[in-house]
Amino acid sequence: MNTRRGLFHELITNRILFLMLLPTILFFIINSYLPMVGIYYAFTRFDYNTSLFNSEFVGLENFKFLWQSGILTKLTLNTIGYNVAFIGLGNVLAIALAILLSELKSKWFKKLTQSIMFLPYFVSFVILSVIVYNLFNYESGFLNTLLKQLSIEPVDVYNTPWVWVPLIILFYLWKNLGYSMVIYLAAITGISDEYYEAAKIDGANIFQRIWYITVPMLKTTFVVLLLFALGSIMKGQFDLFYQLIGNNGVLYDTTDILDTYVYRSLKVTFDIGMSTAAGLYQSLFGFILIMTVNYIIRKINDEYALF
Amino acid sequence: MKKKSKGLVMLLTVMLLMSMIAACSGNGGGNTAASSSPADSAAATASPDNAQAGEKTGIDTSKKVELQFYMLGDAPKDLATIQDKINEMALQDLNATVKFNYTSWTDWEQKYKLLLGSGQQVDLIFTAEWTQYQSYAKKGAFQPLDKLLPVAAPKLNEFVPQDMWEAVKIDNQIFTVPATYKEYVTNGFVWREDLRKKYNLPEPKDLKTYEEYLAGIKANEPSMRPIALGADVRGSLVNQIRDIEHKAIGALPYGLGVNYFEPGNIYTYWGSDEQKADLELIKRWQQNGYIPKNVLNINDVIQEQLTSGKAATIFGDNPTRFNDSVIKVQAAHPDWELKYYPFPLTTGIATPVHAIHNGFAIPTSSKNAERALAFYEKMVTDQRYNLLTQYGVEGKNYEVKDGYYQMIGDASSNGFAREGMNGWAWRNPEFMLFDKNYDGVKTIFDELDKIQVPDKFNGFAEDYSTYQAERAALEQVEKQYLFPLQAGLVDNIEEGLKTFMDKAKQAGLEKIQAEYMKQWQAYVTEKNIK
């Protein structure tokens, strides 16, 4: 009773503010909530001639192709494994670099380094795949030409699955590090100088200042970015994997993720029901994951949790 | 301060949730209008003999419509001018305008599927066996044309011979308008004749002579790729071997095989001795260096590898594409020479294209089926429409010299090359103009005409609705375990094949094969194919 009156009261008193919020809410309802009806496609047999709700209900039939070949677990693990590496290494390195850069005195050098690190972000994965192919292909790649010059046995990178685990992580970092570093750099700039000055007066050296001021102050940014990243953990980095590995089945054991699997399967058998099913699986998994992590974070420190 | 950040966090939370939901529904959303009712067109066809409305055709043209025309590939530069000229005429003749849309070749398969599946307005769309016409027709993606044809396009109905109408029927209904131009898209060896002469190698006629040629290239031109190959080893290597060596009736899926001369006998190719022998051959080619080690990561277009001098042969290309390569090589490297040997001369299977190889259909989503068909009739049978959309503007894009087509300028300066709109489907043999260069193709066609036999494969319409999930899973297993074998990358073929077969069976291979075989037998009996 009390809350209901409270809500109504709230609506009346802040009606202008709510009115201003309305377009955004409508935007999300139209673009995000209404299309959710389409989830039902995952449980029906798609038919060109009738509407969605008249289509035949088939239960979990559309999900079958995901586990039919028995590699769903492997795919899920690969996807999560790579993403954990991306998120973990990416954030740690980005924080470290951001701190280093922020401590640099030379403005000119700082800007230059920042730009150089940011530039790979604009290189598309298609171009990256060409570069990588020309680096590593067996007959005429840069690496093997070099090895031959030095009279060392050439290596067949494209037929050696394990090499691709570090390679893919490396290329991901190469491309994305500059971007996340800039976010942390911005967060560091936002830390008030007063803290540092006070610490200096208290006799803290540079390492202590970083460890006791900068790092704790970055925690919130880190947690928010982490939770964001976790939500899409099942989505992987489709472009990266698809462009670098493509059709090379030899490498799938270590490099296949859900996205590429779904893409390849449905490229031949395109079916709206099956693709919705795959999307639903990914989203559901991401949802569960983010709820769990958020729960854990809330247990540890209520203030850092998203909700 | 604290409150503020909490509010911000809340906002972020909401945004995050939204984006997740949006992402997950992205696959399924937007299709809600998937199947606008075909009732409109049905109602329109109900009163066919009511012909007073239009003067020239028996359809109602009182309301102006815009037709959405979809073709695969890339649009020519001058498309806008052509479209304006066509629309001028179409507005007068049919009270309709048309918009020519192109999918580009990148990811055309997905785009094609979305065009048919998303319910967006598409009035005319290209069909072929390689765009899965049979399956789409069976699933109801196109409108049946049987009743519509005599009403909306009587001339076209007459123009296409009766046996071709019969040939495109799926479940006894016509869903596409076939092209009447007779051509061959059979495979053949393409090789560098100048290198053959230089090193005194044999002319490729079968696998044995081809292998000798490859060996010669490897020995004398070590930096050249002996065969131009791409990541799709199934399509650019294995299917060719099965074509020339095992006289395959067509490229059957799911590891099945049918010999052209025994269509009733469908057998399993995967795991057979026949396949083992093929894989041994491929492995030998791989070890001898005829196949690049990283073939599965090559993305260059096969024909370009030949015309740029990177590769010495193509293992299986059709006469028309071979001719395109010849023209390109003549322009860039006049001292090179290309030669062609059609597989059918060895196998005896010279099948002209099946009627469904080029066609146009009206998707279920179209609300203007009558007008679309009437317009398509114009494209095929009206010389003004046909020449414009095939060759561009006479005097600007091309001229006719001694009965031959001649492009004005060259491919880079001319905004509309010959058949620039990819108008394979609306070719009309009566109006067709040929480039002088095309005489080479005609010679090959004449040769093939002498040993011509009917296509027995492409009339078959597979219905995979009962094993859809298995089919998707199998494709996966094939890419992962069979492609490396088919690229000659696996040392122990026995073992590799066994792993593949185990995985394939797990994915449901047996179910797929059994169902496909059943459907095939039914097709052979029904159409009385011998």
Q: From the CA of B475, how many Å to the nearest CA of chain A?
A: 6
Interface of A with B in 160-219 (CB under 8 A): none
Residue B31 has pLDDT above 60, yes or no: no
Q: Over pLDDT 70: what percentage of chain A?
A: 95
| Tens-digit pLDDT profile for residues A287-301 | 888 888 888 888 887
Task: Check A224 against B9: CB less than 8 A apart.
Answer: yes
> Binning pLDDT at 50, 70 and 90, where does residue A49 land?
low
Task: Check B31 against A52: CB less than 8 A apart.
Answer: yes
Q: According to the model, what pLDDT value does residue B24 have?
A: 42
Residue of B nearest to A245 (CA): B297
Q: According to the model, what pLDDT value does residue B49 have?
A: 40
Q: What is the CA radius of gyration of chain A?
A: 25
Convert A86-117 to b/e letters by CB count within 10 Å (16 or more is b): bbeebbeebbebbbebbeeeeeeebeebbeeb
Structure tokens at B335: 């001292």
| Tens-digit pLDDT profile for residues A206-245 | 889 899 988 888 888 888 888 778 777 777 788 888 888 8
Q: From the CA of A110, how many Å to the nearest CA of chain B?
A: 30
Distance of alpha carbon B151 from alpha carbon B495, whole angstroms: 61
| Tens-digit pLDDT profile for residues B6-20 | 544 454 454 444 444
Mean pLDDT of B172-185: 90
**Residue B42 CB coordination number (10 Å):** 12
Q: According to the model, what pLDDT value does residue B470 have?
A: 86
Which of A35, A45, A272 is opposite residue B25, by nearest beta carbon?
A35
Of residues B106 and A165, the one with the higher pLDDT is: A165
Structure tokens at B415: 């905004």
Distance of alpha carbon A93 from alpha carbon A170, whole angstroms: 12
Which residue ranges make up each domain of chain B?
A: 39-182+356-391
Q: According to the model, what pLDDT value does residue B178 have?
A: 92
Q: According to the model, what pLDDT value does residue B376 have?
A: 93
CB B376 within 8 A of CB B156: yes
Residue B233 has pLDDT above 80, yes or no: yes
Distance of alpha carbon A221 from alpha carbon B9, whole angstroms: 11
Contacts within 8 Å (CB) and 24+ apart, A123-129:
A123/A175, A124/A239, A125/A175, A125/A239, A125/A240, A125/A242, A125/A243, A125/A244, A126/A239, A126/A243, A128/A171, A128/A175, A128/A240, A128/A243, A128/A244, A129/A243, A129/A244, A129/A246, A129/B299
Among candidate residues B50, B80, B75, the one with its CA nearest the CA of residue B62: B50
Q: According to the model, what pLDDT value does residue B25 have?
A: 40
Q: Which domains does chain A possess?
A: 69-304 (1.10.3720.10)
Structure tokens at A71: 């590699």
CB B340 within 8 A of CB B319: yes
**Residue A131 CB coordination number (10 Å):** 12
Interface of B with A in 160-189 (CB under 8 A): none
Size of interface A-B (CB pairs under 8 A): 218
Distance of alpha carbon B489 from alpha carbon B510, whole angstroms: 26
> Binning pLDDT at 50, 70 and 90, where does residue A5 land?
low
Mean pLDDT of B500-528: 90
Chain B partners of A138 at a C-beta cutoff of 8 Å? Answer: 292-294
Beta bridge partners of B342: B188
| Tens-digit pLDDT profile for residues A98-116 | 999 888 888 888 889 888 9
Interface of B with A in 313-372 (CB under 8 A): 364
Looking at domain B39-182+356-391, its CATH superfamily turns out to be Periplasmic binding protein-like II (3.40.190.10)
Task: Check B16 against A306: CB less than 8 A apart.
Answer: yes
Residue B43 has pLDDT above 70, yes or no: no
| Tens-digit pLDDT profile for residues A133-190 | 888 888 778 888 888 888 888 888 888 888 899 999 999 999 889 988 998 999 998 8
Mean pLDDT of B385-401: 89
Interface of B with A in 461-490 (CB under 8 A): 464-465, 468-477, 479-484, 489
Mean pLDDT of B128-153: 89
Structure tokens at A180: 């996340």
Which residue type, as a one-letter code, is found at position B166? E
Residue B314, SS3? strand
- ipTM > 0.85, yes or no: no
